[in-house]
Amino acid sequence: EPEVTQTPSHQVTQMGQEVILRCVPISNHLYFYWYRQILGQKVEFLVSFYNNEISEKSEIFDDQFSVERPDGSNFTLKIRSTKLEDSAMYFCASSEVPDPDTQYFGPGTRLTVL
């Protein structure tokens, strides 16, 4: 069964460094999302992406964040200058055109900022 994949599974970085989290959505899905879950808190929406542009973004998704679909298969989340409070599990999700409301999630990348 097709699934969303994410790399790396765990990323450790120093505060102020840039990180890029990678996702490969399910092939033929055209809607892409990033969510995050800070330890002990709710899963929170960050951004959605369709047709090579951001559809919606949350207040969390400020100027230090960016997303990109650099090729036909990858979807990336870049955090330009990481802060301690960016430590979280980041989930990528995708959905397809016939059923865009059903999102399928990847296993997540645990980001630890030291």
Partner 1 sequence: AQSVTQPDIHITVSEGASLELRCNYSYGATPYLFWYVQSPGQGLQLLLKYFSGDTLVQGIKGFEAEFKRSQSSFNLRKPSVHWSDAAEYFCAVDPIKAAGNKLTFGGGTRVLVKP
Total residues binding partner 1 (CB under 8 A):
27
* Candidate residues 39, 42, 63, 71; the one interacting with partner 1 per rule CB under 8 A: 42
58 binds partner 1 (CB under 8 A): yes
Nearer to partner 1, 62 or 101 (CB): 101
CA distance 85 to 6: 21
Backbone angles phi, psi at 17, to 5 degrees: -85, 160
The set of long-range contacts for 101-104, using a CB threshold of 8 Å and a minimum separation of 24, is 103/31, 103/33, 104/3, 104/4, 104/26, 104/29
Tokens of 18: 């840039």
Taking the complex as a whole, how short is the minimal distance between the CB of residue 15 and partner 1, in angstroms?
26
* Candidate residues 33, 79, 86, 111; the one interacting with partner 1 per rule CB under 8 A: 33
- Contacting residues toward partner 1, per CB under 8 A: 4, 6, 31, 33, 35, 42-45, 48, 50, 55-56, 58, 91, 93, 95, 97, 100-108
